[in-house]
Chains A and B, each alone.
Chain A
């Protein structure tokens, strides 16, 4: 669990980080050829990459993951090469050990790293939550501060101007207008009941119109939601410095593209100048609450202001070439974003199933090797021994019948006397009320089946497991153990343990 979450977050951070670098440089290289709006929204690709653990099945990271995985596996592969050098007689034992070694290697990885990963995962989660709570608290206390010192603007002509701006932008919602002399710059505040708060209402009609237009554009484009999604990403990827760069770039571009939008609504150079001076004046207003200092230092603020004014005055229409370029760049970046991919939950399952299938292949190979070995056929006298031991313990004819075709003539003749002196001799069948007796007829019938293949260890494995599954009684199978394979013993022990509590018996004790 911890492993899945950690690798998921790390892979998202890695691929998201690559996307941030890509977008950052594309924005830098094509600064003059792309609009602020495009540069602002192209970040969504990186945000999505950092947030969404979905990817096509074949992607960069799963391939990378598989590569790392195969490197891990190479340690166990040395075991395989040992096997190739061994002689035929040792095949069984070598094969015997491989799956266990694989298992041990796998378990060690998880055990050694498991604890550390658990703590790391917890640490990551704690930090992410702390960051998020911190951001929400800051915002809430700021909103409260603004609310407390605010008074509604009663001047009906101002509200009318605001309504005019709203209808110009096609905003249906009526946004309230407040004034608070304690804040330093105009703002839009509140998620569900957004209102524009101005530091000062004594503006010229034009300046007031431009100010509310700017804030309404923020509202219309739902910039607040974009910013908060970015904040969530920052909290999740708090350890990734690239995310902070993206965050800063996005908030700069948010203002720049908002200006760009407002300017596109203006008609003349004269109006652009008025808008620029409005922004300049709004910035110059001293506020008592340091709401800006948390995000931007004064120097940066000046730099951003300069950039904003420059882009307002240099506003130009997009050429067809630039439009085509932006479409192509969007395509390339989105495609890269999708196919950089991430470590998905599905991929981790694939890795596990890969291990499983490898183990299975080894087991299958071992089974073939076992079958080929000459030692694993059960002789008639051995079948005699097991059948007689079984008849002594149990009156279940079906279980004994299994051995009968393989038994020697001599052995088969001993069955009836053995049954008469067995522990259960004289028992009565509860359903029929008759004494349970082994008859010659039963034995003769069973001996008519002539098996084409000799009895093998694998057959004993299956038989012992069947008895263990139906009875859970160790005595019924204990005499079969010398003729069983290690795999068969393990299966029987596992079955026994599942019926009698964990780790009751250890398979290795019976090898």
Chain B
């Protein structure tokens, strides 16, 4: 699971399925994509969905002639795996380096910093 790279378009679909209420039907995914301005063709979506299934992110349950798509990984799980990969790759596994970078480049707002502090104190 960890090293199955996911393409931008594939991630787009995963987000839609996570945000929606899985299991999701093919038509529901198409509608959600159209709302975000992505009018992909049917075969394009089928290709991407079958790639996601091959990579183990998704599972399809057949309901008659319709497919129901169920995520095999939660968004949190996915994020933690991706973050770990990111930290490993960019900061050589050094998390404090990441936080320092976030603060120094002013990507972290005052309120977000307070929230982070609270989480750390609770642990």
Hey, which bits of chain A sit against chain B, CB under 8 A?
Answer: 152, 154, 156, 159-160, 162-164, 166-167, 173-177
Verify A160–B44 contact, CB threshold 8 A.
yes
Determine the chain B residues whose CB is within 8 A of the CB of A159 once the complex forms: 9, 44, 47-48
Verify A156–B40 contact, CB threshold 8 A.
yes
Verify B7–A174 contact, CB threshold 8 A.
no
Q: Max chain A CB contacts within 10 Å: which of B10, B40, B41, B51?
A: B41
Bound-state CA distance A436–B48 (Å) is: 99
Q: Give the shortest distance, in Å, between B84 (CB) and chain A (any CB).
A: 22
Verify A154–B8 contact, CB threshold 8 A.
yes
Q: Give the shortest distance, in Å, between B95 (CB) and chain A (any CB).
A: 29
Verify A167–B7 contact, CB threshold 8 A.
no
The chain A residue sitting closest to B38, CB to CB, is: A156
Q: Give the shortest distance, in Å, between A494 (CB) and chain B (any CB).
A: 67
Chain B residues 7-62 with CB under 8 Å of chain A are: 7-10, 40-44, 46-48, 50-51
Determine the chain A residues whose CB is within 8 A of the CB of B51 once the complex forms: 152, 176
12 further A-B pairs in the complex, CB-CB below 8 A; given A154-B10, A167-B43, A176-B47: A154-B8, A159-B48, A160-B40, A160-B41, A163-B43, A163-B44, A167-B41, A174-B43, A175-B43, A176-B50, A176-B51, A177-B47
Q: Give the shortest distance, in Å, between B10 (CB) and chain A (any CB).
A: 8
Determine the chain B residues whose CB is within 8 A of the CB of A160 once the complex forms: 40-41, 44
Bound-state CA distance A176–B55 (Å) is: 14
Determine the chain A residues whose CB is within 8 A of the CB of B46 once the complex forms: 174
Bound-state CA distance A175–B46 (Å) is: 9
Determine the chain A residues whose CB is within 8 A of the CB of B42 once the complex forms: 163, 174
Bound-state CA distance A164–B39 (Å) is: 13
Given A159-B48, A174-B50, A176-B51, the answer on whether A166 and B43 have CB atoms closer than 8 Å is: yes
Determine the chain A residues whose CB is within 8 A of the CB of B48 once the complex forms: 159
Determine the chain A residues whose CB is within 8 A of the CB of B50 once the complex forms: 174, 176
The chain A residue sitting closest to B6, CB to CB, is: A154
**Residues of B within 8 A of A (CB-CB), count:** 14
Q: List 15 A-B contacts (CB under 8 A).
A: A154-B9, A156-B8, A156-B40, A156-B44, A159-B9, A159-B47, A159-B48, A162-B43, A163-B41, A163-B42, A166-B43, A167-B41, A167-B43, A173-B43, A174-B50
Determine the chain A residues whose CB is within 8 A of the CB of B7 once the complex forms: 152, 154
Determine the chain B residues whose CB is within 8 A of the CB of A166 once the complex forms: 43
Bound-state CA distance A159–B43 (Å) is: 9
Give the top 8 A-B pairs by smallest Cβ distance, nearest first: A154-B7, A174-B46, A163-B41, A174-B43, A163-B43, A156-B9, A163-B44, A174-B47
Determine the chain A residues whose CB is within 8 A of the CB of B10 once the complex forms: 154
Bound-state CA distance A48–B40 (Å) is: 44
Bound-state CA distance A162–B51 (Å) is: 16
Determine the chain A residues whose CB is within 8 A of the CB of B47 once the complex forms: 159, 162-163, 174-177
Determine the chain B residues whose CB is within 8 A of the CB of A173 once the complex forms: 43
Q: Give the shortest distance, in Å, between B36 (CB) and chain A (any CB).
A: 13
Bound-state CA distance A167–B41 (Å) is: 9
The chain B residue sitting closest to A171, CB to CB, is: B43
Q: Give the shortest distance, in Å, between A121 (CB) and chain B (any CB).
A: 46
Determine the chain B residues whose CB is within 8 A of the CB of A176 once the complex forms: 47, 50-51
Determine the chain B residues whose CB is within 8 A of the CB of A167 once the complex forms: 41, 43
Q: Give the shortest distance, in Å, between A198 (CB) and chain B (any CB).
A: 15
Determine the chain A residues whose CB is within 8 A of the CB of B9 once the complex forms: 154, 156, 159
Q: Give the shortest distance, in Å, between B54 (CB) and chain A (any CB).
A: 9
Q: Give the shortest distance, in Å, between B70 (CB) and chain A (any CB).
A: 20
The chain A residue sitting closest to B12, CB to CB, is: A156
Bound-state CA distance A156–B51 (Å) is: 13
Bound-state CA distance A152–B6 (Å) is: 11
The chain B residue sitting closest to A177, CB to CB, is: B47
Bound-state CA distance A175–B41 (Å) is: 13
Q: Give the shortest distance, in Å, between A170 (CB) and chain B (any CB).
A: 12
Determine the chain B residues whose CB is within 8 A of the CB of A156 once the complex forms: 8-9, 40, 44
Determine the chain A residues whose CB is within 8 A of the CB of B41 once the complex forms: 160, 163-164, 167
Determine the chain B residues whose CB is within 8 A of the CB of A152 once the complex forms: 7, 51
Bound-state CA distance A80–B48 (Å) is: 82
Bound-state CA distance A173–B44 (Å) is: 10
Determine the chain B residues whose CB is within 8 A of the CB of A175 once the complex forms: 43, 47
Q: Give the shortest distance, in Å, between A18 (CB) and chain B (any CB).
A: 46
Q: Give the shortest distance, in Å, between B30 (CB) and chain A (any CB).
A: 13
Q: Give the shortest distance, in Å, between A278 (CB) and chain B (any CB).
A: 22
Q: Give the shortest distance, in Å, between A166 (CB) and chain B (any CB).
A: 5
Bound-state CA distance A166–B41 (Å) is: 10
Q: Give the shortest distance, in Å, between A257 (CB) and chain B (any CB).
A: 25
Bound-state CA distance A368–B62 (Å) is: 79
Q: Give the shortest distance, in Å, between B43 (CB) and chain A (any CB).
A: 4
The chain B residue sitting closest to A158, CB to CB, is: B44
Bound-state CA distance A492–B65 (Å) is: 72
The chain B residue sitting closest to A195, CB to CB, is: B47
Bound-state CA distance A180–B42 (Å) is: 25
Q: Give the shortest distance, in Å, between B20 (CB) and chain A (any CB).
A: 20
Bound-state CA distance A152–B7 (Å) is: 10
Determine the chain A residues whose CB is within 8 A of the CB of B8 once the complex forms: 154, 156
Bound-state CA distance A166–B7 (Å) is: 22
Q: Give the shortest distance, in Å, between B77 (CB) and chain A (any CB).
A: 22
Bound-state CA distance A173–B51 (Å) is: 14
Determine the chain B residues whose CB is within 8 A of the CB of A162 once the complex forms: 43-44, 47
Q: Give the shortest distance, in Å, between B60 (CB) and chain A (any CB).
A: 13
Bound-state CA distance A173–B50 (Å) is: 12
